[in-house]
Amino acid sequence: MDDSRKSVKDRIVSAAWDLFYEKGYDDTTVDDIIRLSNTSKGSFYYYFDGKDALLNTLSTVLDEHYKILREELSPEMDHFEQLMFLNYKAHSFMENSIKVDLLASLYSTQLISKGDRSLLDQNREYYKLVASIIEEGQKAGEINDSKSVSELVKYYSLCERALVTDWCLNRGSYSLAEYSKEYMPVMMNRFKEKRDS
């Protein structure tokens, strides 16, 4: 989505995360975010109490990316392959757009949060997309239906979080995308419908 079609809030969030990656969280100022998002101080403080409040918008950033990935899914891929493509592309984006130390901080914040855990919000674009692929895959006989759609979505997201958490624990010392490309299919393989040859 180009900037002219984004809401003011989305422009602020997008600019903030670009700056967090480029300059680091500590070296990014509210003025930097306002300047890059082409908004005003009033607009910024209408949506956010301060820079710290933007840390809870990671799910928004990721969901914007999932909207793009939805359009990139090829009908040539079966539904299991679509899930693996989604995982690889999402983890490539995270690896290349979010500093590992910031991602680790955000994950740890979600663990101790007493309020909403935005990454687990089932209304997110992420959950809707994964659920629709799994549901269609079960109907097409490409993903087995031994478990419900919601159980498979939960397991899929658990596997993704495990990969990201390990990458953070290892301080990004290997490629998250390439590791995910190799191991996510292994983790999900029991749900791939076996075809009779």
**Comparison of pLDDT for 117 and 49, the residue scoring more:** 49
Q: Residue 186: pLDDT above 90? A: yes
Tell me the pLDDT tens digit for each residue of 4-46: 557 899 899 999 999 998 888 889 999 999 999 999 999 999 9
**How far is C-alpha 174 from the geometric centre of its chain's CA atoms?**
19
Tell me the pLDDT tens digit for each residue of 108-157: 766 655 555 566 677 889 999 999 999 999 999 999 999 999 999 999 99
Phi/psi of residue 124, nearest 5 degrees? -65, 150
Residue 70 is predicted with a pLDDT of 95
pTM recorded for the entire structure: 0.83
Residue 53 is predicted with a pLDDT of 85
